[in-house]
């Protein structure tokens, strides 16, 4: 049995030696930039004439890598390879499957600064954000490996006289894994390895904004000795390859993390029975958020300011858990806002390679969307009190933006923006703050800063989010300690990094033998 799970420590970049190691890793990958990588289907590397280009969002003149691009024919080939591999993989004992995850986690530890370096280049994370993402991937592997060992052990059943009964968790089949770009290593590796450790085989369709991070996982799994065909790597457009596979009769489940719009589309398409399909597809969808922090009148205001800044602007607000609404009790509104603006003034936007606190947003479209939300906010009566425009630089930079006078039903208080834009909403009292916090279609994360025990207990009961935090930021869930996933339009109520998660990738079989 492996040792009890514990979270992988985050690298301390206040130590110059660690900064140096990260810079060296960035230098080491520089000569490799711009290379073209193949699809991987049944262990075979396949090149295509058409490619997906992954650019550095902080320096759009720099190509991080190019990737072969799957079409529906190649997707079909990948599916056949995964179906074939499933026939063997499903019989591999759970212990052996788990050991691949433990080995891969060891390889990730060894390659940690290199993985961070690619992430810094490909999605514009600063050192700590990138390192936390890599650490979370390691956590997922270590956690799901142990979870599979637990689930493969004897399961408790009520004894029935004269019978020997046994319940086992068996795999589902071929799964389609569709990750987002914003936790390009952790979420991608988490969904992929949860699928495979449960005995399924996988088609991994990475986000076109972060295919390199998925290619690194493929390299790591290969080095760990995972048999060919268990995970197949097929970058390609969501609209063609994605729809083709989601609607395919041989796909058994889809593990998706991304926007509500795409998640709902996948859910709808997967619900239709295709000709020849003999199961109901399972959809695990983790979607967007419109997360709020409530600042109560008696709270530690300094902690609330710092927690709001980190939650709203960490990784440029591009986290599903990011604080996009801060709902402030009228009694402390002015004091809170003044301090918030002071702290926001310290945020520097710059190159992730130089470890600037804030870097670029992911792509041009995202930058335009963020700008248009800022325009809408102003049209609806919002007041830009900080930022509000693009920031200088050779990439897709946006200033951290704070908008006051936002009404609870304004567009920027309701729709996910996915960028560094914080709406400040004033509430008369705690009851009103809680009602505003709950008044969206989402339910992912939330925080309450308060010293009032009665208010905290009310929030425990009534603040309807999957991950609720008291007197701390609303980002930074830890595998094992904070199983993660939201309610309502934030997804299918799953909890990544929790004890229920692997059950979503299995089905339970009961065998009852008459003695
Ligand atoms: P997105 O929905 O644009 O894309 C997600 C993935 O879906 C990508 O791999 C994309 O290529 C793919 N895709 C697009 N169209 C498809 C189709 N028709 N069929 C199949 N696949 C298709 O989201 P994104 O921009 O990559 O990520 C940001 C979103 O993810 C935000 O909404 C964020 O809140 C959400 N998110 C949620 C969680 C969570 O745990 N709830 C975690 C991270 C991100």
- pLDDT(452) > 90: yes
Assess contact for 438 and 413: CB atoms under 8 A: no
Assess contact for 481 and 317: CB atoms under 8 A: no
Stretch 424-428: mean pLDDT: 98
Q: What is the pLDDT of residues 314-350, one digit of tens each?
A: 999 999 999 999 999 999 999 999 999 999 999 999 9
Same domain as 343, residue 238: no
Closest-lying ligand 1 atom to the alpha carbon of residue 207? 9
Catalytic positions are: 286, 320
Same domain as 509, residue 366: no
CA of 300 to the centre of ligand 1 (A): 36
In a domain, 242, yes or no: yes
Predicted confidence at residue 470, as pLDDT, reads: 98
Instruction: State the number of CA atoms in the 13 A half-sphere of 354 facing the CB.
Output: 10
State residue 504 phi and psi, 5-degree precision: -65, -20
Give the residue, out of 189, 205, 262, with the most ligand 1 atoms within 8 A of its beta carbon, to mutate for a pocket test: 262
Distance CA 312, CA 314 (A): 6
Distance CA 430, CA 330 (A): 9
Assess contact for 187 and 179: CB atoms under 8 A: yes
**Ligand 1 touching residue 415 (CB < 6 A):** no
Same domain as 306, residue 172: no
Predicted confidence at residue 494, as pLDDT, reads: 96
In a domain, 486, yes or no: no
Same domain as 256, residue 398: no
Closest-lying ligand 1 atom to the alpha carbon of residue 286? 41
Stretch 149-161: mean pLDDT: 97
Beta strand 291-295 with 323-329 is: parallel
Per the structure, the complete domain to which residue 387 belongs is given by 291-478
Same domain as 71, residue 90: yes
Q: What CATH number should be reported for the domain holding residue 316?
A: 3.40.309.10
User: Quick one: three-class SS letters along 333-364?
Assistant: HHHHHHHHHHHHCCCCECCHHHCCCECCCCCH
Question: CB neighbours of 225 closer than 8 A, spacing ≥ 6?
Answer: 100, 103
Measured N-to-C along each axis, helices 127-152 and 94-110 cross at an angle, to the nearest 10 degrees, of 160
Beta strand 59-68 with 51-56 is: antiparallel
Tally Cβ neighbours within 10 Å of residue 476. 17
- pLDDT(259) > 80: yes
Q: What is the pLDDT of residues 482-504, one digit of tens each?
A: 999 999 999 999 999 999 999 99
**Ligand 1 touching residue 258 (CB < 6 A):** yes
Q: Ligand 1, atom 22: nearest CA belongs to which residue?
A: 238
Assess contact for 412 and 377: CB atoms under 8 A: yes
Same domain as 313, residue 217: no
The position carrying tokens 């909890």 is 495
Assess contact for 262 and 238: CB atoms under 8 A: yes
Kind and range of the H or E element at 384? strand 383-386
Distance CA 86, CA 411 (A): 46
Stretch 383-390: mean pLDDT: 98
Q: What CATH number should be reported for the domain holding residue 31?
A: 3.40.605.10
**Ligand 1 touching residue 476 (CB < 6 A):** no
Same domain as 371, residue 252: no
Residue 40 in 3-state DSSP? strand
CA of 288 to the centre of ligand 1 (A): 9
Predicted confidence at residue 476, as pLDDT, reads: 97
Distance CA 435, CA 455 (A): 13
**Ligand 1 touching residue 416 (CB < 6 A):** yes
Closest-lying ligand 1 atom to the alpha carbon of residue 496? 40
Closest by Cα among 488, 407, 474 to 445 = 474
The position carrying tokens 């102003």 is 378
- pLDDT(432) > 90: yes
**Ligand 1 touching residue 183 (CB < 6 A):** yes
Alpha helices in 357-410 (DSSP H): 364-379
Q: What is the pLDDT of residues 282-305, one digit of tens each?
A: 999 999 999 999 999 999 999 999
Confidence class for position 190, pLDDT limits 50, 70, 90: very high
**Ligand 1 touching residue 359 (CB < 6 A):** no
Predicted confidence at residue 1, as pLDDT, reads: 76
**Ligand 1 touching residue 207 (CB < 6 A):** yes
Closest-lying ligand 1 atom to the alpha carbon of residue 205? 9
Predicted confidence at residue 130, as pLDDT, reads: 98
Closest by Cα among 357, 326, 344, 330 to 388 = 344
Distance CA 467, CA 465 (A): 6
Predicted confidence at residue 371, as pLDDT, reads: 98
Same domain as 345, residue 208: no
Same domain as 503, residue 408: no
Distance CA 331, CA 351 (A): 39
**Ligand 1 touching residue 180 (CB < 6 A):** yes
Residue 365 in 3-state DSSP? helix
Confidence class for position 2, pLDDT limits 50, 70, 90: confident
Predicted confidence at residue 412, as pLDDT, reads: 98
Same domain as 276, residue 303: no
- pLDDT(462) > 90: yes
Number of domains composing the chain: 2
Tally Cβ neighbours within 10 Å of residue 83. 16
Predicted confidence at residue 332, as pLDDT, reads: 98
Task: Say what the pTM is.
Answer: 0.98
What torsion, rounded to 10 degrees, do the Cα atoms 428, 434, 440, 441 define?
-170
Q: Ligand 1, atom 10: nearest CA belongs to which residue?
A: 207
């Amino acid at each position: 049995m492996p040792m009890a799970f514990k979270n992988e420590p985050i690298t301390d970049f206040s130590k110059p030696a660690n900064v140096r190691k990260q810079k060296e890793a960035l230098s080491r990958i520089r000569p490799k930039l711009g290379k073209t990588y193949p699809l991987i289907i049944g262990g075979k590397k396949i090149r295509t004439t058409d490619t997906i280009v992954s650019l550095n969002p902080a320096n759009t003149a720099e190509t991080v890598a190019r990737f072969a691009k799957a079409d529906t024919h190649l997707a079909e080939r990948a599916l056949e390879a995964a179906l074939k591999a499933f026939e063997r993989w499903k019989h591999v004992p759970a212990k052996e499957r788990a050991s691949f995850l433990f080995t891969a986690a060891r390889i990730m530890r060894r390659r940690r600064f290199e993985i961070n370096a690619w992430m810094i280049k490909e999605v514009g994370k600063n050192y700590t954000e990138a390192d936390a993402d890599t650490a979370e991937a390691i956590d997922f592997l270590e956690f799901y490996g142990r979870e599979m060992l637990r689930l493969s052990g004897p399961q408790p059943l009520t004894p029935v006289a004269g019978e020997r009964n046994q319940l086992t968790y068996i795999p589902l089949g071929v799964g389609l894994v569709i990750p987002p770009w914003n936790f390009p290593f952790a979420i991608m590796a988490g969904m992929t390895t949860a699928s495979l450790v449960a005995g399924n085989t996988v088609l991994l369709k990475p986000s076109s904004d972060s295919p390199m991070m998925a290619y690194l996982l493929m390299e790591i799994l290969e080095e760990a000795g995972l048999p060919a065909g268990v995970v197949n790597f097929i970058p390609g457009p969501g609209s063609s390859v994605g729809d083709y596979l989601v609607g395919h009769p041989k796909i058994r489940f889809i593990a998706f993390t991304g926007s509500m719009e795409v998640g709902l589309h996948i859910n709808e398409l997967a619900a239709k029975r295709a000709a020849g399909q003999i199961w109901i597809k399972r959809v695990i969808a983790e979607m967007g958020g419109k997360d709020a922090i409530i600042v109560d009148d008696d709270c530690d205001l300094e902690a609330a300011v710092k927690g709001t800044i980190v939650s709203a602007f960490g990784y440029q607000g591009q986290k599903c858990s990011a604080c996009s609404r801060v709902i402030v009790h009228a009694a402390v509104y002015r004091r809170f806002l003044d301090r918030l603006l002071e702290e926001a003034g310290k945020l520097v936007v710059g190159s992730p390679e130089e470890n600037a606190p804030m870097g670029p947003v992911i792509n041009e479209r995202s930058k335009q969307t963020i700008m248009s939300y800022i325009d809408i906010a102003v049209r609806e009566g919002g007041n830009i009190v900080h930022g509000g425009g693009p920031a200088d630089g050779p990439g897709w930079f946006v200033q951290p933006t704070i908008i006051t006078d936002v009404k609870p039903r304004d567009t920027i208080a309701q729709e996910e923006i996915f960028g560094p834009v914080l709406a400040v909403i004033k509430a008369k009292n705690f009851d009103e703050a809680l009602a505003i916090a709950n008044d969206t279609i989402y339910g992912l994360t939330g925080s309450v800063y308060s010293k009032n025990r009665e208010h905290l207990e009310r929030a425990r009961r009534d603040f309807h989010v999957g991950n609720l935090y008291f007197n701390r930021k609303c980002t930074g869930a830890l595998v094992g300690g904070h199983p993660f996933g939201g309610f309502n339009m934030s997804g299918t109520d799953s909890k990544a990094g929790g004890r229920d998660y692997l059950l979503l990738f299995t089905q339970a079989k009961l065998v009852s033998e008459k003695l």
